[in-house]
Amino acid sequence: MNPPFDQTPLGSGIDPGNIPVSALTHQQLTHDSQLAVAPPYQRTREMTIDEMLLENRVIFLVGEIHHASAAGVIMRMLHLVNLKTDMDISLYINSPGGSVDDTLAIYDTMQYLPCDIATYCVGRAYSGGAIVLAAGAKGKRFILPHARIMIHQPYGGVTGQASDVQIQAEEILKNKKQLNEILARHTDRDLKQIEEDSERDRYFSAKDAKDYGLVDEVLNQDEKK
């Protein structure tokens, strides 16, 4: 008859049956307490990039502006303001624009919040992206050297019966007026000039955007050295 199977780990030299229950309990409690109070570096390793940036009050608006992306930006801004009302939020923008309604939802939230929103153009800020960029706190609107900005009138595909077409066309004109007034307010430009410049796609280099009043500063690494 074969001897009973020995469950003791090889090379341990310890018989588990001889370890007091109190010692096992103590070991388990010690292990659990170490997991509960993880060191800061371990907590950082367990966080996602988005969570780490959010903890430092950094939000990204990347890609098309639509319901989901606008909701994500707005929820993050409200969350950060709830944590601390007097500390800036940094909003990094790399967007081709998108929905006018969702752009205005982000814009209105930015104007409503008690803290300053510092905006940064990374890559491009076209159409609605340019609106959000220009809406940052004065003196805290930045652009990287090779980023570009574009403004234009809102697009609208109008279909349906004649009466429906007229209603939709009137809404597009209202949106156009709203967006032009916002740009005029934040660039200190005359409304008539904004209307003329946005009649067709108007592109700006980083320097041109600063001269126009869409941003306050071009972030150039050479100037920091």
Residue 199, domain member (yes or no): yes
Q: In this structure, is the dihedral angle defined by the CA atoms of residues 97, 101, 104 and 109, taken in order, positive or negative?
A: negative
Q: Residues 169-194: pLDDT tens digits?
A: 888 899 999 999 999 999 999 999 99
91: enclosing H helix or E strand: strand 89-95
pLDDT digits 0-9 by tens, 44-103 = 567 899 899 999 999 999 999 999 999 999 999 999 999 999 999 999 999 999 999 999
Asked if 112 and 153 count as a contact pair (C-beta separation under 8 A), the reply is no
Q: Domain range spanning residue 95?
A: 48-224
What confidence tier does 158 reach under pLDDT thresholds 50, 70, 90? Answer: low
If phi over 0 gives left and psi between -120 and 50 gives alpha, with beta otherwise, what is residue 35?
alpha
Q: What is the CATH number of the domain that holds 89?
A: 3.90.226.10
Examine residue 30 and state whether it is found in any structural domain, yes or no. Answer: no
Cα–Cα distance measured from residue 125 to residue 105, given in angstroms and rounded to the nearest whole number: 17
89 falls within a domain:
yes
The reply to whether 91 falls in a domain is yes
152 part of the active site: yes
Domains: count for the chain? 1
Task: Pick the catalytic residue from 127, 146, 163, 205.
Answer: 127
C-beta of residue 77 within 8 angstroms of C-beta of residue 45: no
Check residue 32 and give its pLDDT: 44
Average pLDDT over residues 160-167: 78
User: Is residue 99 flagged as an active site residue?
Assistant: no
Classify residue 28: in a domain, yes or no.
no
From 69, 152, 186, 198, active-site residue: 152
Residue 61 lies in a domain: yes
Q: Is residue 154 part of a domain?
A: yes
Does 16 map to a domain? no
| Cβ count within 10 A of residue 177 | 12
| pLDDT (tens digit per residue) in 96-153 | 999 999 999 999 999 999 999 999 999 999 999 999 999 999 999 999 999 999 999 9
